[in-house]
Chains A and B, each alone.
Chain A
Amino acid sequence: MALSEFSRRGLGRRRVTGALGVTLALLCALLAAATLLVILGYVMVQGIGAINWEFLTQLPHPVGVPGGGVGNGILGTFIILAIATAMAVPIGLLTGIYLSLFGRGLLPEALRFMSDVLSGVPSIAIGLFAYAVLVAPLKHFSAFSASFAFAMLMLPLLVRTSEQAIRSVPQTVREGALALGMSNFRATVGIVLPTARPAIITALLLAIARVIGETAPLLFTAFGTQFWETNPNNPMAVLALQVFNYAISPYANWQSQAWGGALLLVAAVCVLSLGARLMLRRAMHGLEG
């Protein structure tokens, strides 16, 4: 860059260019944020009318019969998420502990790389995996296979975050515990993990937010049903799947319910993201204090 470019000559013009450039950047950021507000506004306006007690608690009605709800889908979402969490947390936490304790070497690096790669694998490919492992051999769709796919989607975030959360606990805390004669097991589980807990819970909330509206893998795992279903070995209704099916249906009643379901999903994601943010603030505070 030649020095003369920044000379005082033409300073006025350069200032104008600079101001225009900054304004352009501002407009881009505002555009991105405004898009969100437009989409959220649309979902809010269209969805709020569809939401009432019946919508939240009733079964879907057949085509042509007005009313009905997505109660079974909401219940199914909770069940599938609960099982997915129960599968993903132990594996994610153990892998995170392993990476934080035995961090260097070929296997840990390979694990980190695989975890990063997994986070970029399309959810539909993971759905195919769940289908191949749990649906095709058993010859029927099941909520459990959907939980398995969700767990796979949650794992990369859990692994990486729990590793960092455990690492961010000061080494002196662990050494203190060891100096008092604790085993590594007790020092990790009794002292280090509780300190890292808020950060790990943050990661879990974000992981749930990531999968709660996930639809693609559900198409050939949970599959959906018109009835109340609580047995994870059977096909199960899921809210996100109902939103998808209703949206592409030609019936006005169903389309309106799709907006209602979308509003529920967006609300859930917002609550989870805000919760994660608050939890993270607590985690930071805990580490400083």
Chain B
Amino acid sequence: MTTDAGSRFRRVARFVSPVDRGFAAVVYGGSILFALLILGLFVELLLGSWPSIVKFGPGFVFSSAWDPLNSKFGALPMIYGTLVTSLIAIALAGFIGIMSAVFLADFAPRWLATPLSFLIELLAAVPSVVYGLWGLFVLAPFMRTTAGPILQKLLGWTPFFSGTIYGVGLLTGGAILALMIVPTVTAISRDVVAAIPRDLREASMALGATKWETATRVVLPAARVGIFGACVLALGRALGETIAVTMVIGNRPEISASLFAPSYTLASVIANEFTEATTGIYISALIELGLILFLVSIVVNALARVMIWSVRGSERV
């Protein structure tokens, strides 16, 4: 893929014969179709949410009324729930993921790094519904009977850990999301860390730094933009994750300071209510939630990729 070979190829390989022209046209057509599909995705979401956009305007995202019976819709509780669960997730997964990445790239011997990497990547492949099932039957009861009461005893004086512990709620949702995005943070951070030139490490070690000092004071600072990108990408996954969160969030459109309280996310309200939505404006409001998710995911992903590329080069994500 060197520039040289590429330009040489274009000089040698003109698409002049009829067969080649046809071939080029088909290939071109395929990629145009691909582009149209993606544009179609945006256009359809926009068209679908248009009645809701017209009726509620920008107030949609600032209103906390979610009352299908009276056709009043506001996205604020879901935006709140989405943000809180995702931030909990990235706070938990960020530290563990970055530490694991440093370990796999710089500290671990090969015989340990390879199987650990494989296990952590497999964690990324486990379907969302399986996490949800585990969260519903294992994590949520554990939160209700053990983890929740302990947290409440320690931190119950703050509004964040007060109130009834249902088991399902913001904290459980955030914890499940954390499990799901650890592999993303780890895998990409590991690649970013591995892409930092050896020279930097060797120079640092030659100055007498220990491995740990080299990792924390030389390698991580050099890789920080890429690692931040990995975290933003993981955040993007967390924001749009649907099924697992739907199963453990409690599904209640309320804004509550307590992390034990049931809540709702943008994705889970669509998953729960879309097939039951009867009126046109109800469906449209749900599609507008999807449009918000779509737009947020584009911004977050574009941002993350630019940051990762800046460190690691544009191959593979």
**Interface residues of A, Cβ cutoff 8 Å to B:** 1, 3, 6-8, 14-15, 17-22, 24-26, 28-33, 35-37, 39-40, 42-43, 46, 90-95, 97-99, 101, 103-104, 107, 110-111, 113-126, 128-129, 131-133, 152, 155, 159-160, 164, 167-168, 171, 174-175, 178, 183-188, 209-210, 212-216, 219-220, 223, 240, 243-244, 247-248, 255, 258-259, 262, 265-266, 269-270, 272-273, 277
Q: Nearest chain B CB to A275's CB is how many angstroms away?
A: 12
Instruction: Report whether B301 and A120 are in contact in the complex, using a CB–CB cutoff of 8 Å.
Output: yes
Please, which residues of chain A bring their CB within 8 A of the CB of B29? 94
Q: How far is the CA of A186 from the CA of B130 in the complex (A)?
A: 45
Instruction: Report whether B35 and A114 are in contact in the complex, using a CB–CB cutoff of 8 Å.
Output: yes
Sorting the interface of chain B by its residue count into under 10, 10 to 19, 20 to 34 or 35 or more gives 35 or more
Instruction: Report whether B123 and A155 are in contact in the complex, using a CB–CB cutoff of 8 Å.
Output: no
Most buried by B among A131, A132, A269: A132
Q: How far is the CA of A119 from the CA of B154 in the complex (A)?
A: 41
Instruction: Report whether B127 and A219 are in contact in the complex, using a CB–CB cutoff of 8 Å.
Output: no
Contact of A171 among B8, B125, B271 (CB under 8 A): B8
Instruction: Report whether A120 and B6 are in contact in the complex, using a CB–CB cutoff of 8 Å.
Output: no
Query: Is B202's CB within 8 Å of the partner chain A?
Result: no
Please, which residues of chain A bring their CB within 8 A of the CB of B304? 120
Please, which residues of chain B bring their CB within 8 A of the CB of A168? 1
Instruction: Report whether A265 and B23 are in contact in the complex, using a CB–CB cutoff of 8 Å.
Output: no
11 sampled A-B residue pairs with Cβ under 8 A = A17-B210, A28-B96, A36-B122, A39-B131, A97-B30, A128-B48, A167-B1, A213-B130, A240-B127, A247-B137, A269-B125
Q: How far is the CA of A265 from the CA of B217 in the complex (A)?
A: 43
Please, which residues of chain B bring their CB within 8 A of the CB of A185? 19-20, 22-23
Stretch at the interface among B10-18, B69-77, B144-152, B159-167: B10-18
Q: Is the interface of B mostly helix, strand, loop or mixed?
A: helix
Instruction: Report whether B126 and A269 are in contact in the complex, using a CB–CB cutoff of 8 Å.
Output: yes
Instruction: Report whether B100 and A28 are in contact in the complex, using a CB–CB cutoff of 8 Å.
Output: yes
Q: How far is the CA of A219 from the CA of B273 in the complex (A)?
A: 10
Please, which residues of chain A bring their CB within 8 A of the CB of B31? 94-95, 98-99, 107, 111
Q: Nearest chain A CB to B281's CB is how many angstroms away?
A: 15
Given contacts A115-B38, A124-B242, 7 further A-B contacts (CB under 8 A): A31-B96, A98-B28, A124-B267, A185-B19, A185-B22, A223-B275, A266-B127
Closest 6 CB pairs of A and B: A213-B127, A94-B30, A122-B240, A120-B301, A28-B99, A18-B212
Most buried by B among A37, A91, A187, A255: A91
Instruction: Report whether B267 and A122 are in contact in the complex, using a CB–CB cutoff of 8 Å.
Output: yes
Instruction: Report whether A6 and B38 are in contact in the complex, using a CB–CB cutoff of 8 Å.
Output: no
Instruction: Report whether B127 and A128 are in contact in the complex, using a CB–CB cutoff of 8 Å.
Output: no
Please, which residues of chain B bring their CB within 8 A of the CB of A25? 99-100, 102-103, 107, 215
A18-B213, A36-B120 given; A247·B298 CB < 8 A: no
| Chain B 70-102: CB-based contact to A (< 8 A → 1; otherwise 0) | 000000000000000000000000011101101
Instruction: Report whether B127 and A212 are in contact in the complex, using a CB–CB cutoff of 8 Å.
Output: yes
Instruction: Report whether B99 and A244 are in contact in the complex, using a CB–CB cutoff of 8 Å.
Output: no
Instruction: Report whether A121 and B298 are in contact in the complex, using a CB–CB cutoff of 8 Å.
Output: yes
Instruction: Report whether B297 and A125 are in contact in the complex, using a CB–CB cutoff of 8 Å.
Output: yes
Q: How far is the CA of A77 from the CA of B136 in the complex (A)?
A: 24
A22-B103, A98-B28, A219-B275 given; A184·B23 CB < 8 A: yes
Q: Nearest chain B CB to A236's CB is how many angstroms away?
A: 15
Query: Is B225's CB within 8 Å of the partner chain A?
Result: no
Q: How far is the CA of A3 from the CA of B186 in the complex (A)?
A: 32
Query: Is B26's CB within 8 Å of the partner chain A?
Result: yes
Most buried by A among B118, B138, B208, B212: B212
Contact of B129 among A6, A31, A244 (CB under 8 A): A244
Query: Is B257's CB within 8 Å of the partner chain A?
Result: no
Please, which residues of chain B bring their CB within 8 A of the CB of A116? 301, 305, 317
Instruction: Report whether A188 and B23 are in contact in the complex, using a CB–CB cutoff of 8 Å.
Output: yes
Instruction: Report whether B212 and A21 are in contact in the complex, using a CB–CB cutoff of 8 Å.
Output: yes
Task: Give the nearest-CB partner of A15 in chain B.
Answer: B210
Please, which residues of chain A bring their CB within 8 A of the CB of B270? 124, 128
Q: Nearest chain B CB to A165's CB is how many angstroms away?
A: 12
Query: Is B27's CB within 8 Å of the partner chain A?
Result: yes
Task: Give the nearest-CB partner of B103 in chain A.
Answer: A25
Instruction: Report whether B129 and A22 are in contact in the complex, using a CB–CB cutoff of 8 Å.
Output: no
Q: How far is the CA of A277 from the CA of B114 in the complex (A)?
A: 12
A132-B45, A216-B243 given; A18·B126 CB < 8 A: no
Contact of A210 among B24, B34, B125, B133 (CB under 8 A): B125
Q: How far is the CA of A212 from the CA of B129 in the complex (A)?
A: 11
A22-B211, A90-B30 given; A216·B8 CB < 8 A: no
Instruction: Report whether A123 and B240 are in contact in the complex, using a CB–CB cutoff of 8 Å.
Output: yes
Q: Nearest chain B CB to A227's CB is how many angstroms away?
A: 19
Q: How far is the CA of A113 from the CA of B120 in the complex (A)?
A: 27
Q: How far is the CA of A286 from the CA of B305 in the complex (A)?
A: 31
Instruction: Report whether A215 and B30 are in contact in the complex, using a CB–CB cutoff of 8 Å.
Output: no
Instruction: Report whether B15 and A6 are in contact in the complex, using a CB–CB cutoff of 8 Å.
Output: no
Task: Give the nearest-CB partner of B44 in chain A.
Answer: A132
Q: Nearest chain B CB to A36's CB is how many angstroms away?
A: 4
Query: Is B194's CB within 8 Å of the partner chain A?
Result: no
Q: How far is the CA of A99 from the CA of B314 in the complex (A)?
A: 14
Query: Is B274's CB within 8 Å of the partner chain A?
Result: yes
